[in-house]
Structure 1
Amino acid sequence: MKPAPFDYLRAASSHDALEVLAQTGEDARILAGGQSLMAVLNMRLAQPRVLIDISRTEDLDRTIIDHGHLVVNAAATQGSVEWRPSLQNEVPLLALAFPHISHFQIRNRGTVCGSIAHADPSAELPLVLSVLGGDVMLRSKKRKRVLKAGDFFQGMLMTAREPDELVEGVRFPLKRAGERYAFTEFSARHGDFAMVACATVVTDTYIRIAVGGVADRPVVEQWPRLHGDDLRGALNDLSWKLNAQDDTHVSATYRRHLVRQLGWRVIEEAK
C-alpha cells in the first residue's frame, strides 16, 4: 500500500515546525527519521493532512550534557548517539541497548525521540528511558513542559503528547556512582522486535527492573536487594502482574517464562 495524499513541509527550524503544528494539530505528523512513521503511513493507519519534516533542523539535531543528563534532541539519530565515544561512561545502559535495536542501517536514520514518541511497548529506547527515570521534553507554540517517562507512556502507541506539541528532546540521567546496568532481550531473530526485553539498574541497596514487550507500555519495578528464592519469587510475581497475552509470535505462558529467565539474567549480570 501507499500513503494517502498529504502536504509536505520541510521545517528550517523548530519554530517553523511549531507554527504549523499550532495551525494543524491532529492533522499533522512529525517526520524525523521516518523508520516507524513511514510504515504506519503506508498501511494507512495514519492519514495526516500535513507531514512536517524536521530532519534538517539544526537546532533540533543536538546531543548535549546538561545538568546531569544526556539530552538528545528531536532530530538526533540513534546512530549519532550510539557512536558517541563517551556514551559508555555517560549512559552505559544506552550503550548496551543500542546493538539490539533493529540494524545499523535503521539506527543510521531513525531518531531517539522518534522511537520514544512512537511508544511501541516492544521498543528498546522507551524501556531504557523508563528504567532510568528519564524525562520527555514537550514543546508547543504556547508552552514547554517536561514529563517523566512513566507519565508520558500511556498505552500501546499512546502518549501524553498533545496534538500541537513536539517531542523536543529526551533526557537520560547520567551514570551515578554505585549503579550497575544490564540489558537483554529475546526475539525470533536479531533485529526483530523483542518478545520480551529486560533492563535493570542495580546498586548495593536496591534492584530496579523494567520489562518491555509484554504489557502495553514499559513496566518498572523496584525491590530491595533480593537473592535466591526471594528474587525468583519476585520475578514470578512480576511475570503474572504483566498480564501476558497469547499472540501469533508466542504464548502468554512462554512470555512469563521469558520474564523470569531474562529478568534473573540481567539482575545477576548487573550485580
Structure 2
Amino acid sequence: MLKIITSESIEQTYINNYEKEYLKIHSKQLLLSIRKVEKNIDIIKIQLSQAKRVLNLINDYGSIILLTKPQDLWIGKTFTRRSSIFNVSTYIARELNDRVLILNLDQHLGIGFLDLMLDAEKILYIDIYSASEDSKKLYKMSINNPWKILNIPLPPGITDKLYLQVLEQLVIRDVVQAFNPKYLVVPLGFDTHRDDPKGEFQLTCDFFHSLGIVLKELNEKINLRSIVVTECCHSRKVLNKCFPNLVAGLLGIDKMYHENEGVPSSLVKEFYLQYFRKVKYIVNKYWFEK
C-alpha cells in the first residue's frame, strides 16, 4: 500500500512543541538564526506535522511519499546553506528509533546529512551523488565511519542502466542484506533527470519508475518500509514526468511516461567502473572484515 502525505493538516500539539522537536537534531544557535525570518517558523511547523504523520502511519503502509520541499541535504546540526530550514529526513530516521537506512539520491552530496550522521545511532547513510564533488575526501569518510556513512560518487553523464546497477548490486544485494534495516528513508532529488537545467546525470523518467518498483519489491520480499522525501527539482516539466512514474512503480503498474535511454560514452563507462570497484573494495574491506 502507498500513502502520499502533503501539508494539508497541522496538529496543534506539534506546533506548540516545535522548538523541542527541532532541537533534537539541530542546534539552538541554528534555530535562533533561522527563526529571524518569521515564515521559516511556519515552514518548520508544517514539516514537523508532516513528519509526525509519517511516523504515525508508516507501519500501516509499505511506502509513504512525503511531498515537501525540505532541501535536507544542505542543513546540518549547526549550519545551513541555500535557505534550508529543517532536515526532515534525519528527524524521521531518528524518531523511528530502529535500524534505518537513509539513501540520498540526488545530484549533490548531502553535506547536511554527513554532519548529522556522525553521532547517529542505528542509522546508516548512503549517498549516491555526482563525482564532480571532492571524491577523495568523501572516500575517506566512508573508510573512517564504517556502518555509518557510505559515499558513492558516479560520473556525470551516467544513464539509467548503470545507476540501477549500483542500486541493485551495491546497495541492495550487499549493504541492505548485511545491515538489515527495518525502514528506508529516501531523500529523492529529481535533478538527476537529463532535462534538469542544472543537472549532470542523464537519467530518464523511466528510471524513477524502476526505482518505485525496486522499493515496492523490497517491501514485499523483506518487509522493508520506505519513506520517499521529495527534494529539489529545477524544472516543472521534469517533475511532471518523473513523479507520476515513481508513483506508478510503487503501485506496481505500468509507467505513465517513457523516454529512450541514451548511450553513455566510453569515458563515462570507464570512470563508472573505477568508482564502482573502489566503493566495492571499501565495502568489502572496511565493513565486512570488521
Same-fold status (TM-score > 0.5): no
Q: With structure 2 as the length reference, what TM-score do the two structures score?
A: 0.26
Structure holding more helix per residue: 2
Q: Relative contact order (alpha carbons < 8 A, sep ≥ 6): 1 or 2 greater?
A: 2
TM-score normalised to the size of structure 1? 0.27
Write 1 or 2 for the structure with the bigger share of strand.
1
